């Protein structure tokens, strides 16, 4: 379990949202995007170290900075899809879901495409 939270101050108190909640939202949003083959669980160690992933299996890193959420997603794209279009759809989907569920509009979504998935 994660012990990192983003805090949203309200008049009646504060709301704390766990990093694990954001990771779950991101997983659901990405899984619904056409053209995404899946999360990259075989990304190179260099890429993982570069963005600071602790668990390569998830392919998702979430950071909180003040009242901002920074998300890094490592995916593979299905062969024949336009990589930039798929990445843009991932960014749009993740951003929309974060805004609709948390109310936080200040989110940075970084998509890292680590490979192409060919059908067998």
Residues of the domain holding 30: 19-117
In a domain, 49, yes or no: yes
Q: Of residues 96 and 3, which shows the higher confidence score?
A: 96
CATH number assigned to the domain comprising residue 47: 3.30.70.1350
Closest by CA to 77, choosing from 26, 28, 40, is 40
Summarised one tens digit per residue, pLDDT across range 22-55 is: 999 999 999 999 999 998 864 455 565 666 655 4
In a domain, 8, yes or no: no
In a domain, 107, yes or no: yes
pLDDT tier for residue 1 given thresholds of 50, 70 and 90: very low
pTM above 0.95, yes or no: no
> What is the C-alpha separation between 63 and 67, in angstroms, rounded?
11
In a domain, 55, yes or no: yes
In a domain, 88, yes or no: yes
3 state SS of 28: helix
Count of structural domains, the chain: 1
In a domain, 11, yes or no: no
In a domain, 6, yes or no: no
> Is 50 exceeded by the pLDDT of residue 98?
yes
Tokens of 86: 């798929």
């Amino acid at each position: 379990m994660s012990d990192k939270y983003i805090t949203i101050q309200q008049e009646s108190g504060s709301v704390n949202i766990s990093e694990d909640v954001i990771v779950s939202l991101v997983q659901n949003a990405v899984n619904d995007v056409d053209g995404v083959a899946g999360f990259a669980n075989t990304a190179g160690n260099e890429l993982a170290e570069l963005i600071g992933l602790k668990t390569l299996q998830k392919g998702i890193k979430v950071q909180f900075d003040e009242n901002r959420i920074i998300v890094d997603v490592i995916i593979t794209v299905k062969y024949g899809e336009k990589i930039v279009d798929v990445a843009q759809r991932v960014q749009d989907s993740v951003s929309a879901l974060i805004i609709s569920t948390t109310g936080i509009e200040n989110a940075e979504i970084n998509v890292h495409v680590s490979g192409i998935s060919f059908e067998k």
